[in-house]
Each structure stands twice: as C-alpha cells, then as structure tokens.
Amino acid sequence: MSIAKFPSKLSLPEVNPGCATVLDYLRVRFPGIAAEVWSQRMAAGRVHWHDGSLINERSPFRPQQRVYYYREVAAEPQVPFAEQILFKDEHLLLAYKPHFLPVTPGGAYINECLQNRLRQKTGIQTLQALHRLDRPTAGLVLFSVNPETRHRYHGLFESRQIEKRYQAIAQVAGGEILVGQQWEVRNRLEQAEPRFLMAVTGGVANSYSRIRCLAQVDDRALFELQPVTGKTHQLRVHMQTLGWPILNDRYYPTLQAESADDYSRPLQLLAKELRFVDPVTQQSREFIAEQELSIRP
C-alpha cells in the first residue's frame, strides 16, 4: 500500500446536494471508493478540515469548507527517469520533467510525481506547480516557491501572458514537403467518452494553436507547436486534426487498450520553451530546454 505524503483537498459545495455528513458527500463525489475505505481513512486520522481537526463518520456537511484527505493505492508505479532542476530563485523553480512522470498526484500515482520529488529534493514543502503537462509529455514545468507571490504567476497563465513552445514528431506521407509551412488551428474542444479524451465539436472555437514544420526526414517530420490557449490535450488533438497525430500517442487518433507503459516508446512531444515577463521582478524570462526530439529512427 502506498499512501500520499501530502494531502489532496476539495471544497464542499455551497449548495448541499442532500448530504448530512462529509462521509455522505465523499461517497457521492467518489463513487468508485467504498464507504468502508473512507471510514478506515477517517479512523486512521487521514481526513481533516483546513485547521487540522479530524473528520469522522458523523462530521456534518459544512458548505464551502475545505476537506483534506490522503490518497492511497495498492501498488504505485516507479518511473525510472530523473527530473532536473534548471533554475531557482526566491519565487520560482523551473524543472525538466521526463516522459511518463506525472506533474502532480493522480490515478495510480501518489508520491511518484514531479511535484513530490522536487519537494523531497529541495525541502520546500510549499512548492506548487503553476501549470501542467500530460504525464506522457516531457519538458519544462514552472513551480511557485513563495506562496506570497504565487497568485502573480498564476495570473500569467490565466491571462495568457506566457509564451509556450513545444516540439513534436509525427509520421507524414513520404512525398509531402512540409518544411517551412505553417498552420493555424482553431476549433472547439469538448470532453468526449471516455471523459479523459477530448474531441472536436461544432460551435465557437475555444482552442487555438500555431504549428510549423521545422525539419523532415523521409516519412517523419519535426514540428514546432505554439499553443495560444491551453485546453486539455490541445496540441495532440490539433496535430491529429491536421492529419499528423504525434508519434507514439496512445490516445489519438485511436484510444489504445490500457497496458503498462512502454518506456522505449515515449510520446514524441516536448515542452521546449517558456517566455514571459516576471510579474514580481519585471525581468524578461526565457527558458529553453537542452533536450531535443530526433526525427531519425
């Protein structure tokens, strides 16, 4: 059994959905977790309020109050690749995330994620990711070091004042000459089924990416991708929209059967660059990963 070292949190909704106790709400919110499991966690002191006081089976539902709990899984996978710290000051930490490692806890991953690895490595328990990369994606991830200035950096992402560039490799038709061409993709992305997938639907566009081809060798091409918006799986879906799904993508264009990770076939998507004006220091920041994707087999 692997138990999280750091708690997850949720806020009870303002409108009570008909729950007398916190336990009732947790059963509704997480239908896949048996009530007995929540009772065991409560008995072990692993569910509490924001002030640290424990929640038990009889604790009443309290609208808009935060509930903290410690996730657990029977067996947590261990990712055999190392992260790197590339930059750190009193406000920010920049790290390189390897393929297959999640940024924050989720699914079968509790302690084995970039955020927790960095907390252990630096001793900074308040370290918090400012944005996300999909678990299969490698590249640059920015973290807040100082909780007092964290909201300033969150604002960069919310107001789209941070420029992000990625690299991706896709298989293309051997006769296509794509180098130097560029495309703008605008469409509407909505949750599909299963709910972790995204699909292009009709309606007003809510996603926008700029894409250009940098190099090509036979039937493989290297692309630079610049997301203007930040929808889930946006770049992966937009590359599929153009007819060139990213190499080794297990979701698009066809969802593959669930299986163990094949570490020899990482998704060929790399978060390569971050550029922004630091809202605290007013300095221009430019971070470029040393890692490169290779189009040669």
Whether the domain at 84-159+277-288 and the domain at 163-256 fall into the same CATH topology: yes
pLDDT band at 103 (very low <50, low <70, confident <90, very high): very high
Q: Which of 82, 109, 110, 108 is nearest to 96 (CA)?
A: 82
Query: Residue 174: pLDDT above 80?
Result: no
- The enclosing H or E element of 157 equals helix 150-158
The bridge status of strand 72-73 relative to strand 2-3 is: antiparallel
Give the number of other CB atoms < 10 A from CB of residue 138: 25
Average pLDDT on 245-259 reads 95
Q: What is the mean pLDDT of the chain?
A: 94
Class (C level, CATH) for 163-256: alpha beta
Q: What are the boundaries of each domain within the chain?
A: 2-73, 84-159+277-288, 163-256
SS3 label, residue 28: helix
Residue 72's pLDDT is 86
The CATH number that domain 84-159+277-288 falls under is 3.30.2350.10
CATH class of this structure's domain 2-73: alpha beta
Cβ neighbours for 176, distance < 8 A, ≥ 6 positions apart: 216, 221
pLDDT in tens, 38-86: 999 999 999 999 999 999 999 999 999 999 999 888 888 999 999 999 9
